[in-house]
Amino acid sequence: MASPATASADVLHQQGLASKQALDMEAACERFAAAAALGHAGAQVELARMQLHGIGCEVDAGAAIGWLERAEPASPIASYLLALVASGDSALPRDARMDARLLAAANAGLAPALLASAVHFGRKPQPEAQAACMRLLGAAAQRGHAIAALLLERRLELGEGCERDARAAEALRRQLAQSGIERLPDTPFDAPGAQDDPAPLEPCASRIVPPAMELRATRPRIATCERLLSADECRLLIAHARLHLRPSRTVHPLTGAPLSMPLRTSSGATFDPLLEDIAIRLVQARMAVAAGLPLVNAEHLTVLRYAPGEEYRPHRDALPPASIQADHPQAGNRIRTLCAYLNPVAAGGETEFPAPGVRIIPRAGCAVAFDNLGPDGFADPDSLHAGLPVERGEKWLATLWLRERRYRDF
């Protein structure tokens, strides 16, 4: 028989869920807090989520971590969320404890943890790591995770990390099509080699080593990286972005107001922190490490799709003062940009820097990083660049804009 305190906590938790369903977030937060104080693990997790994102309360990552740590012995979801926070290497360190928590969540059958673990092993070229990737993708897909099913379908169809199985791939395609989910564009399979993670079956997604960058110009500084992202990571970003694509916009040079202009004719999706899973966070962490800046300095990731004829005419990424003032002014300006190409482009779609005479050909998994500010801290005129028109096929591009100082809460 439940104790009075346990019964009261259960009632408060249910009231909190009802308030959340009714979008009364302040009331939900208050009721989850009351139940959390009585030791209800589910309420502790719900309260922590709200504190992480400032829903119904002020953002308080430290308090959220405290509640998740209290809930962790009874809740694999708490372990998963603590690992997600640690992926930013700020409020919690991105270290072996993160790996242990991700493993615990995967062993408990949480689909997002299974997917992240699969993507981790998919970066490694060894056959046993590729086999682990396939098993984990299959486990996540069986639990109804559509993104995992999409990644698994591509691997089965193309024989990546497994024997080609066209029949199983077709069965997955039919299941996904019933939910209106189309197959992903082709992205060549070429495991990066995991220079940061040589042990085939070691669960160490936290170990991200700065990759080798080839310097292409010094003013502005432009550097490229071959095979930064794996095929699974590219497909992961495309699959998430496809659900939220909208016509791309730019900003007014004086007011900072968003505008739809012929300057930019792509479509794009900006990843909402509420919807990010740890697999997406770890891809962004890899991109930030390649750019040489902390992930907490990064704006929210944007993925762009360019259809034939679409382009981004010459522009600079540095923000006008009004845009900075309206969006995290304490973070400063965009000091650096990293763009990762997510698929091969049949023709066109290069990134061109006219001043230094540099042109980057898009190749899946490769990335370019460049500075937007000059030595004086102001926008560098030579950072002018363009996404040239796509001539054939389509172009998918992930862009991470990094500010001078901290932008994210964790």
Q: Is 317 a residue whose pLDDT tops 80? A: yes
Measured CA to CA in angstroms, residue 111 lies from 23, 104, 185, 205, 312 at distances of 26, 12, 23, 16, 37
pTM: 0.93
Q: Give the rounded percent of residues in the chain with a pLDDT score beyond 90.
A: 87
Of the candidates 380, 363, 362, the residue with the CA atom closest to the CA atom of residue 371: 380
- Kindly report, residue by residue over 338-380, the tens digit of the pLDDT: 999 999 999 999 999 999 999 999 999 999 999 999 999 999 9
| Cβ–Cβ < 8 Å for 402, 338 | yes
State the average pLDDT over residues 291-300: 98
User: Can you give the residue ranges of every domain in the chain?
Assistant: 4-106, 107-205, 214-403
Residue 1 banded pLDDT, cuts 50, 70, 90: very low
| Cβ–Cβ < 8 Å for 122, 83 | no
State the average pLDDT over residues 10-37: 97
| Cβ–Cβ < 8 Å for 398, 355 | no
- Kindly report, residue by residue over 91-145, the tens digit of the pLDDT: 999 999 999 999 999 999 999 999 999 999 999 999 999 999 999 999 999 999 9
Average pLDDT, the chain: 93
Q: What is 4-106's CATH number?
A: 1.25.40.10
Determine the pLDDT at residue 257. Answer: 55
Q: Is 255 a residue whose pLDDT tops 80? A: no
- Kindly report, residue by residue over 63-92, the tens digit of the pLDDT: 999 999 999 999 999 999 999 999 999 999
Q: What is 214-403's CATH number?
A: 2.60.120.620
Of the candidates 20, 409, 22, 24, the residue with the CA atom closest to the CA atom of residue 45: 20
Long-range pairs, 16-25, Cβ under 8 A, ≥24: 16/43, 16/46, 17/46, 20/46, 25/50, 25/55, 25/56
Q: Is 300 a residue whose pLDDT tops 50? A: yes
What amino acid occupies position 401? W
